[in-house]
Chain A
Amino acid sequence: MATFAIRRALWLLVVLFAISVLVFLIFFATPGVDPARQMAGRNPSPETIKNIKHEFGLDRPLPVRYGLLMKHMFISRDLISYGSHTRVIPEVLSATPVTLSLVFGAAVIWVVFSILTGVAAAVFRGTVIDPILMILALIGISVPVFWLGEVVNLVTQSRLHNFFLFSWVPPLGYTPLTQDPLMWFEQLIFPWLTLSVLYIGFYARVLRANLIETENEDYIRTARAKGLSERRVLLRHTLRTSMITFVSLFGLDFGILVGGGALLTEVVFGLPGVGLLTYNSLTALDLPVIMTTVIYGAFFITLANALVDLLYAWLDPRVRPA
């Protein structure tokens, strides 16, 4: 098992390296595009452009440029945002707890509800409950999350704000948990629900399909032949094996979200997380920030991939190295 973990860790580093190279190439080497002009932001002076050219070694060969960029990003860590003129890395680090709050909360909600929905739909197959749940799930995955957020805002902040159900909803924003837990919760509850909708729909469908497929397996027939109760067969046998897929998909999605994939939700609800940071840097063409957040995101995803592989081996003994 140890060699397995080490091999995955090495692969992680390889992938990060490859991604950083890819990011670098995209921003600095796409044909037809002049990076210096871009990095200088809008309406730059010739001075600024010259400075950038020098700092990033744009007149030097590609590998040198790459090296300089990496140095600025990781070693001297003094990559400066062209927008806020502050250091990028601390900026990203302060945005992280916001994203983590959003993603953890949403994940708890979506895991619980998707398991309930998926199991209910599978157990009640043949009755009217199953199609109703599945249609709801379908609608869930068909709604663009940013639009849903807008609609939620419309209802809670404006149209029904005076209605008792929503009058407590505070204006959009984020308050750290340590500062005011109640406010933290109130500001996050609707973003949590909005973000979960898509995932509840998706995971409920995946789980239901898996449960139905597993039902046909021979070992489930054996379990019944043993005289086990239907509930035990469902929970200890059918669900247990179906969860393998569920958990691996969950790990990947979780990694993506933590890495900044929740940016649409953050934008719509005004939460200053990593995703919003990425978005703002986009519209401001703040290249140092963009590049940093992209690499940050890639790191988390690759990490999640590696963790999921380990988790998969723990859940499915057949996959373990002998």
Chain B
Amino acid sequence: MAEPLLEVKDLKVSFRTEDGLVRAVDGISFTVDEGEVVGIVGESGSGKSVTMMSVMRLITDPNVLYQGEIIYKGRNLMGLSRDAMREVRGEEIAMIFQDPMTSLNPVYNVGWQIEEQLNEHNDLTKGQARRRAIELLAQVGIPRPEQRIDDYPHQFSGGMRQRVMIALALSCNPDLLIADEPTTALDVTIQAQILELIKNLKRDFGSAVALITHDLGVVADIADRILVMYAGRIVEEGDKEQIFYDPQHPYTWGLLGSIARLDRPRTRRLTAIAGQPPSLINRPRGCSFRPRCPQAFDRCSVEDPALTSKVGDGHLDACHLSVDDKRARRDATINPELAESA
């Protein structure tokens, strides 16, 4: 088994604030292999963005505290000097963000911005850089790239802008692409196009992808493995089939139950998960999902469940229920017609 491309070991990220210490990420560990697509799913405040921003060391808040290790190709990124980290950014690990409208600098044209990235990590002549930029724009599906390269970001539509961001990110052939909610700000039809684009490019460029989203539906097609995060921790982890067909954690059930599906007859209203995510400053004792969990029992208020493998085969979850109990209750929660587990 080859060494993983990225290995996060017991990462904890906290912020000092007016109201206390906010534990945004509370001890998570996972890996991303070369060429793999990992979906990181969770609601706002679950810590998914903070995790990947920490991988890139892009957090500029002076009140941040880190603990743990982030190993990329054998090096601990947390221990690198600023200059060494800069070389990693853009060239080995690249990131695209949620809102393409504000993520591109409005005063420079698109070509300039791509060329800036190319020139930072490569030694190219002006002509070479420009040609490469046009090539990249074509690869992401921008029509008439040789003309549009001189246009400014505000002259593109939302979907086109996101394609430009993707071109920018892939320009130096990174081995890992982090996509932080890349489709959230876009229309649904454009969403599908962008996801398709990411899938194809992953194949062409051979990069691994970490796709962050709050919508399980987004990762359904494209992800190989999925991590479900809640309140700064991973509560379930497994490959696509396992998560969709044999989910083990009540929170995952909640997420699945709230997806509108076209392929099944509609029985009743979509299940929403009641309640609010917990405060990240004062964690309640026991399982952090307990206040919102319809399946909670007495053990849940006392003992914090660890992320362990109960089903086997790389499928981990953090819930005290036994596997049989889970399967029994799950169908009632998500959908009575849910297919039998694998």
Residues of A at the B interface (CB closer than 8 Å) are 126, 215, 217-219, 221-230, 236-237, 240-241, 244, 315-318
- A226 adjacent to B89 (CB under 8 Å): yes
The smallest C-beta distance from B234 to any residue of chain A, in angstroms, reads 24
Give complex CA distance A126, B110 in Å.
34
Please, which residues of chain B bring their CB within 8 A of the CB of A227? 86-91, 117, 120-121
Given contacts A218-B97, A236-B116, A316-B107, 11 further A-B contacts (CB under 8 A): A218-B99, A221-B97, A224-B60, A227-B120, A228-B90, A228-B116, A229-B86, A230-B82, A240-B107, A315-B107, A317-B107
Residues of B at the A interface (CB closer than 8 Å) are 56, 58, 60, 62, 82, 86-91, 94-95, 97, 99, 102-107, 109, 116-117, 120-121, 152, 154, 165, 168
- A218 adjacent to B86 (CB under 8 Å): no
Give complex CA distance A228, B87 in Å.
9
Contact A318 B117, CB 8 Å, known A218-B97, A219-B105, A227-B90 = no
Give complex CA distance A283, B216 in Å.
78
Please, which residues of chain B bring their CB within 8 A of the CB of A218? 97, 99, 102-103
Interface of A is mostly: helix
Tally of A-B Cβ pairs under 8 angstroms: 71
Give complex CA distance A114, B72 in Å.
43
- B107 adjacent to A222 (CB under 8 Å): no
- B116 adjacent to A219 (CB under 8 Å): no
Please, which residues of chain B bring their CB within 8 A of the CB of A224? 58, 60, 89
Query: Which of A218, A222, A230, A237 has the most C-beta atoms of chain B within 10 angstroms of its own C-beta?
Result: A222
- A317 adjacent to B105 (CB under 8 Å): no
- A222 adjacent to B97 (CB under 8 Å): yes
- A317 adjacent to B117 (CB under 8 Å): no
Contact A221 B58, CB 8 Å, known A226-B90, A227-B88, A237-B105 = yes
- B106 adjacent to A226 (CB under 8 Å): no
Please, which residues of chain A bring their CB within 8 A of the CB of B105? 219, 222-223, 237, 241
> In the complex, which residue of chain A has the Cβ closest to the Cβ of B102?
A218
Q: Which of B99, B107, B109, B117 contacts A226 (CB 8 A)?
A: B117
Contact A225 B116, CB 8 Å, known A241-B106, A317-B154 = no
> In the complex, which residue of chain A has the Cβ closest to the Cβ of B53?
A221
